[in-house]
Structure 1
Amino acid sequence: MKSNVYWARLLASVALLLAGCTPLQVVTHRVSASESTVPVGRYALDPHHWHISFDVDHLHYSRFVIRFDRATAQLQWNARGMEDSTVRATIDAASVNTNVPLLDRMLKGQDMFDVARYPDIDFVSTEFVRTGNDRGALTGNLTIRGTTHPVTLNVIFNGHAVNPLIKQETLGFSADGHFSRAQFGLATWYPAVGDDVHVAIQAEFEKTGD
């Protein structure tokens, strides 16, 4: 029932947004791949258009995907584009979602994320090294369970434009990377569950200030 209410509200919101623009504006919408077109300023993660997941080896059969349902992020975009910009993201560890309720409770418990003591998973960028016109290696400090280690993400700048639905400057990114879960005190169930964690991210940011 709650799910039906959520989707009904979401569809109603989309209908209201669409009322503010023509179908032609949506169909012909284009984004710029040039970072130089992006206005300098503060941007926040679009609460409806993002995805963060961790996946790990499961008994060598497949990589089991764990997603998170709540997160926030702030981006400070500066004149030199990605090379001069910074990002900070916070994931609500209690929002972990595997589609298996029992496993969700285990992941939230003391043997894994221990969300009662460590409710947040944080990432704070420290360095960006360009590897192509629209991409680069973003290194930052990742904190899980109160333990911090550097992690590098491969980031792609997908583009920038004024979103035709909400009329705001919007940026899009894709990113992925790897880290050892044992470094953060998450060695439970090894080796049945692998140590290497693959992170996959899709994110849109909306301009919130200068």
Structure 2
Amino acid sequence: MTSPFSRLLIGFAAALTLLQPAAAMAGDLRYVIDRSASRVDAKVPFLGIATKTAHFPDMSGTFNLSFADLEALDMVVDIDARTLTTGDSQAKTLRGKSFFDVANHPTVRFVGRHLKMTGEKTAEVEGNITARGVTRPIKLNVTFSVPPFSTGGTQPISIVGTGVIDRREFGMTAFPWIIGAMVNVTIRARMVPS
């Protein structure tokens, strides 16, 4: 037979268990990027008849959502431009002064501040991208592996975000007759709860 005090403690513990999901719902969903399963690709027209893709295999960052404001987003992605690869001899040129100038600007940063859901698992993300010390706005079309608010921040989420930038706006004006100006950027990220 349990004492009134023991029954009170059991009841209190049960109440806390019931309240935990509501507490989680009231707060933020916090994630960090899984560096081993994330990358960025940048594709540009080449000679007007083909494309070239630069791969950035090393990225880190955070992704936070809030139940209090469903359109608020705190997303920071840091891309190590020094790790840029192309699969051919052009990687050294792209890392050089005419393009990413990684000796002086080793990091490309994307900061997302606004999320607009366009479907159960799709959204538009507005933010800024900084390369070579220059910051410009960018809009990404994002697809989530699951509805982002459905997990309660307890399971990984993968995203694919696509957007377009003009390389000339970042001072990358070299070889305009060979390399196109508009760059298609794709961010693939796996995010794990933090």
**Is 1:111 equivalent to 2:98 in the alignment?**
yes
Q: How far apart, in 1, do the equivalents of 2:31 and 2:174 lie?
A: 37
- Could you say what secondary structure the match of 2:90 adopts? helix
Q: Which residue of 2 aligns with 1:43?
A: 31
Q: What is the number of residues matched between the two proteins?
A: 166
Note the C-alpha offset of 1:62: 1.6
CA contact (8 A) 2:59 2:78 kept: yes
Tell me how far apart the structure 1 counterparts of residues 71 and 143 of structure 2 sit (CA, whole Å).
Answer: 12
**More strand, by proportion:** 1
Structure 1 residue runs without a partner (length 5+): 1-35, 163-167
Q: Distance in 1 between matches of 2:169 and 2:113?
A: 19
Determine if contact 2:141/2:161 at 8 Å carries over to the other structure: yes
Question: 2:48: which partner in 1?
Answer: 60
Question: What amino acid is aligned across from residue 187 of structure 1 in structure 2?
Answer: T
The offset of 1:191, in angstroms, is 2.7
Letter in 1 for 2:187: I
Higher gyration radius (CA): 2
Q: Does 1:93 align with 2:99?
A: no
The percent of aligned pairs where both chains have the same amino acid is: 25
SS of the residue corresponding to residue 194 of structure 1 reads coil
Which residue type is aligned with residue 190 of structure 2?
Answer: E
Which stretches of structure 1, 4 residues or more, deviate above 6 A after TM superposition?
A: none
State how far apart, in whole Å, the 1-side matches of 2:39 and 2:58 are: 9
Quick one: which amino acid aligns to residue 68 of structure 1? F
- Cα distance in 2 for residues equivalent to 1:82 and 1:58: 40
Shift of 1:83: 2.1
1:200 pairs, out of 167, 186, 192, with 186
CA contact (8 A) 2:72 2:113 kept: no
Which structure 2 residue ranges, 5 or more long, are not aligned?
1-23
Whole-Å separation in 2 of the counterparts to 1:138 and 1:77: 12
**CA shift in 2, pair 1:114/1:64, >3 Å:** same
* C-alpha distance 194-43 of structure 1, shift in aligned 2 (>3 A): same
Pairwise CA RMSD: 2.2
Name the SS of the counterpart of 2:97 in structure 1: coil
2:3 aligned residue: none
